Structure 1
Amino acid sequence: MKLISIILCNFRQFYGKSPEIKLACGEQNTTVIHGNNGAGKTALMNAFTWVLYEKFSAAFAATEQLVNKRALAEAEMGKAVACWAEIVFEHDSNHYKAYRACRAYKNENTVEYGNSELSLTVAKDDGRWMPTAQHPDDIIGRILPESLHKYFFFDGERIEQIVRYDKKAEIAEATKELLGVEVLNRSIRHLGDAKKSLETDLKIVGNAESKKLLTEQDKCELEIEKLSMRQVEIDGELASQGELKRAISGSLLELSGAGDLQKLRDELEMQKTLFKQQILQATDARKRAISLRGYGVFLLDAAA
């Protein structure tokens, strides 16, 4: 899937119909969108996921309030306000146009929102846009499955949520599905089922030698299954031990930091004690100096 352009109309911060926002392509294929907080960067990203999957990111608040507030405020009572977005994208040399729209109705005290509707058209050789023969969700799901969209449309501030350690298995499954490996795995499972069915028939119609070999094969497969289950258990134990190791390493780092702080505290306490002793010594020296030579001041007054 290669995104080409998007148009918005009364979608969140985007009042009215926006110009066609064309995305970069060719050698300079990176589009940078700059805007202040609240300008609509997150809304723009969620417009893509709304059109294609009717899904939103975690940072997208009030997902039920999609219609632009200014458009609602200017609308007449009871009149529908349309909110829609249109995406043009290319896949396998075909150009598609995905369009999703919803409507809001302003009543005296409330705003009622209707359900959204998705349509998908494809460009023909003569340049006309024609509805697809299959359901839009099915076509989009084959191009980029809904379960994978969050790995392509995400908030940059929350990218750490995607690459967390506990998400490793989920990312692996998503990658398999994207690369078509999961289809091969399902085919292998189906072949295994067909194999078992044929072996069952062979046990019934086969000769004694065949039945003996099948019995030995069943024993070997049972042993392999037990070993595989044990391997899964060991892998799980290794993963748990790895998490425990990371937790202990983190605790040790914290403790080492606490040890450094304690060492610094001890040094400061020693300096504090030393300074107190120096202050006491200076005070005693001052007292002795006053007691030994302080009378000289009065002698000077007497001599005068």
Structure 2
Amino acid sequence: MHLHKLTLHDFGAYQGRQHLDLRVKPKRPIVLIGGLNGCGKTTLLDAIQLVLYGPRARCSGRGNRSYDTYLRESINRSADPARGAELRLEFSITVEGRLRTYEVARTWAVSGKNARENLAVTVDGGYDATISENWAEHVEEILPLEVASLFFFDGEKVEQLADPERAADVIEAAVQSLLGVRAVEQLRTDLLALQRRQRLSQEDQGVLDQIQDLKARSQVAAQEMSDRSQDLAQVTSLHDSAKASLEKIERDFERAGGRLFEERLGLEATKKDTVDRLAGTQKALRGLAEGALPLLLVRDQLTTLSEQSVREHQAHEARQVVGTLESRDAWLIDQLPDSVPGAVRTALKKKLTADRKKRASAAELTVDLDLPRSLAQKLSALDEVLRADETRACELLAAAQKTVHELEQADRQLAAVPDEQQIKALIDARQKAAENVIVARAAVEHATELVEEARGRHERLEADLQRARDKRARTFIREEELQRVVTYAEKARATLEKFGSALLRKHISSLEVAVLRSFQTLMRKSGLVKDLRIDTDKFTLALTNRDEEPIDPARLSAGERQLLAISLLWGLAKVAGNRLPTVIDTPLGRLDSRHREHLVDRYFPNAGRQVLLLSTDEEIDEHLLRRLKPSIAHSYVLVHDDTTFTTRVAEGYWWTEGALHAV
């Protein structure tokens, strides 16, 4: 891009129509424009940006004002607002190997409270309505706004670019737009558009749309089923955790005597029943003791008495029988017939006599207590009663012993029951844990229902999808053909992505070298920076010194930071091939004399094929003018009238004869 001519008509401080010839020649790339502060140097820079970018222009004098307000206030105060102001910029660029000349004319005038603007673009001398109507998009192809900030700048902006974050934005915008990386991305976008243009017939597309819809819904259902399953796993885990927690609390509750605490009322009732049973048993034993039972203590004596009574009874009966038997035996002998031998008679008499003697001896007693004859029968009845009472007493004693044991056991259990205050925390914790288990179980049941519902939906959608696929198999053949186009386009996009990454790395590498060499060329301290790196992801600058230690840009002096920013811009211009004009406003404000000489000798003549240098008399002074003069194609001085507050453009520069006369 080569700027030919800039025309200002009643713009800012420039009254009337002012022209600047900006054409340069080989080895004379500089157009030097001198002006004191407030004379309109920055206005020239604003004019170039305004005519190109309109409301998007980054004009220094606009501030926060609206574009309409800025246009109205940019009309020269001595001019008629109804006639307005005008800016024209003529430049040439090479398009598809052909040099083409553009002239952009932006005019505006005040109508009522608003400014009406008009834009007209001529190409090779002829008005082009299409380009005029779409100039905002067209100018981005010629000189993107982000890139323009790299070539249209003032001294203050140069220092701002030394900030790592600002520098990162500048480098990224430059690499993307200026060095062709964005073109690769645009090609990837075009391939994506090609992919999207691959379409089937309406009928087939309808089938595929249906299938795609079913597939998408099936995927959603599958994802939902997966999510629900994960939710189920989570709530199941929570449920298991809640159960484990409850079981632990139950064990703690058990060890602390919680079961006994819960059974306390039952234990107390059991003890009361045991006490009542023991009392009943003891009462029954006392009842037995009030009867014949104590006679068991003299059972042996009662047995002896019973035996004595039997003997006395037998002796009494024997005494009665003996007298009767003697008469009976005599009668019996007399009744024997005479035929009975004497020996038999004698033997019988002996036998009967012996029997009587035996009975008589039985009737004889050592002691005769003269006991009643009924005593034996009564003692026998008493013995039966005592046996029954003894059996009952044994049963009652065994029951009492068992009851006493049960009572002792109940006392021990009740003694083991913990105090309510001691176990209250465990009771509350167990209650809460039980509630948590109930809630978790409900959550598991609900999650299980959701999983089953999602599985059912997914299975139904899969079945519908399979039926649709079976019905339209031919459509898939056509889709596969189109898909191949899409696939190869995607492969091409992937290749372009790799190419773009490689191109980015190549440009970054070249840019690192160019910026480092530019900085080392401009720096007075040649050994300050040994290496410079640019991050390919964040586009940040990293400096290192000769000891391989990092250098914080904030530690550089104001002049060094300004030179670093200029080096960044110079390096970008070198890598881009210096194909764009460079406009520099007040470039030497914070530099010492040595750095100024370096810029004049090394940078300005080599900054690009066309350099517009806007300077004050203190920046490019008589000494520096002599050093810069061999590289100057045109020089202008901005003459300001302090009475009318207007500026006109005169040829020459301070310390030249024509310029001194004009001033």
How far does residue 132 in structure 1 lie from its aligned partner after superposition?
Answer: 5.0
Question: What's the CA shift string for 1:151-197, capped at 9, x where partnerless?
Answer: 221222321223421124322233221222112134346668989xx
2:115 is aligned with 1:114: yes
Question: Judging changes above 3 Å, is the alpha-carbon distance between structure 1 residues 166 and 14 closer, same or farther for their aligned structure 2 residues?
Answer: same
* RMSD, aligned α-carbons: 4.1
TM norm structure 1: 0.55
How far does residue 246 in structure 1 lie from its aligned partner after superposition?
Answer: 6.7
Question: What's the CA shift string for 1:2-52, capped at 9, x where partnerless?
Answer: 11101111100001112x210141121211110111111111110011110
Question: Judging changes above 3 Å, is the alpha-carbon distance between structure 1 residues 116 and 164 closer, same or farther for their aligned structure 2 residues?
Answer: farther
Which residue number corresponds to residue 66 of structure 1? 74
Quick one: distance in 2 between partners of 1:5 and 1:236? 40
Question: Judging changes above 3 Å, is the alpha-carbon distance between structure 1 residues 194 and 168 closer, same or farther for their aligned structure 2 residues?
Answer: farther
What amino acid sits opposite 1:153 in the alignment? F
What amino acid sits opposite 2:86 in the alignment? W
Which residue number corresponds to residue 23 of structure 1? 22
Quick one: distance in 1 between partners of 2:157 and 2:39? 19
Which residue number corresponds to residue 127 of structure 2? 130
Question: Judging changes above 3 Å, is the alpha-carbon distance between structure 1 residues 25 and 193 closer, same or farther for their aligned structure 2 residues?
Answer: closer
TM norm structure 2: 0.27
Quick one: distance in 1 between partners of 2:10 and 2:139? 24
Which has the larger Rg?
2
Question: Where does 1:243-258 land on structure 2 (aligned, <5 Å)?
Answer: none
Q: Is the 8 A contact 2:75 2:84 kept in 1?
A: yes
Which residue number corresponds to residue 182 of structure 1? 182
How far does residue 235 in structure 1 lie from its aligned partner after superposition?
Answer: 9.2
Quick one: distance in 2 between partners of 1:70 and 1:193? 54
Quick one: distance in 2 between partners of 1:188 and 1:138? 20
* SS of residue in 2 equivalent to 1:95: strand
Question: Judging changes above 3 Å, is the alpha-carbon distance between structure 1 residues 31 and 192 closer, same or farther for their aligned structure 2 residues?
Answer: same
Question: Judging changes above 3 Å, is the alpha-carbon distance between structure 1 residues 139 and 16 closer, same or farther for their aligned structure 2 residues?
Answer: same
Structure 1 stretches of 4+ moved >4 Å: 59-62, 188-195, 234-237
Question: Judging changes above 3 Å, is the alpha-carbon distance between structure 1 residues 191 and 15 closer, same or farther for their aligned structure 2 residues?
Answer: closer
Quick one: distance in 2 between partners of 1:49 and 1:173? 18
What amino acid sits opposite 1:165 in the alignment? P
Q: Is the 8 A contact 2:50 2:59 kept in 1?
A: no
Quick one: distance in 1 between partners of 2:16 and 2:179? 40
Q: Which runs of 5+ in 2 are unaligned?
A: 199-211, 213-475, 481-534, 544-549, 556-663
Which residue number corresponds to residue 98 of structure 1? 104
Question: Judging changes above 3 Å, is the alpha-carbon distance between structure 1 residues 60 and 31 closer, same or farther for their aligned structure 2 residues?
Answer: farther
Quick one: distance in 1 between partners of 2:7 and 2:536? 49
Q: Is the 8 A contact 1:9 1:17 kept in 2?
A: yes
Q: Is the 8 A contact 2:5 2:23 kept in 1?
A: no
Quick one: distance in 2 between partners of 1:162 and 1:115? 35
Higher normalized contact order (CA 8 Å, seq sep 6+, divided by chain length): 2
Q: Which runs of 5+ in 1 are unaligned?
A: 206-233, 251-304
Question: Where does 1:122-201 land on structure 2 (aligned, <5 Å)?
Answer: 122-123=123-124, 128-131=125-128, 133-134=130-131, 135-170=134-169, 171-188=171-188
Question: Judging changes above 3 Å, is the alpha-carbon distance between structure 1 residues 87 and 236 closer, same or farther for their aligned structure 2 residues?
Answer: closer
Q: Which has the higher helix share?
A: 2
Which residue number corresponds to residue 248 of structure 2? none
Aligned residues: 205
What amino acid sits opposite 2:116 in the alignment? N
My pick for the range that moved more, 29-38 or 60-69, is: 60-69
My pick for the range that moved more, 178-187 or 58-67, is: 58-67
Quick one: distance in 1 between partners of 2:106 and 2:7? 11
Quick one: distance in 2 between partners of 1:189 and 1:117? 33
Question: Judging changes above 3 Å, is the alpha-carbon distance between structure 1 residues 118 and 192 closer, same or farther for their aligned structure 2 residues?
Answer: closer
Question: Judging changes above 3 Å, is the alpha-carbon distance between structure 1 residues 81 and 186 closer, same or farther for their aligned structure 2 residues?
Answer: closer
Q: Is the 8 A contact 1:89 1:97 kept in 2?
A: yes
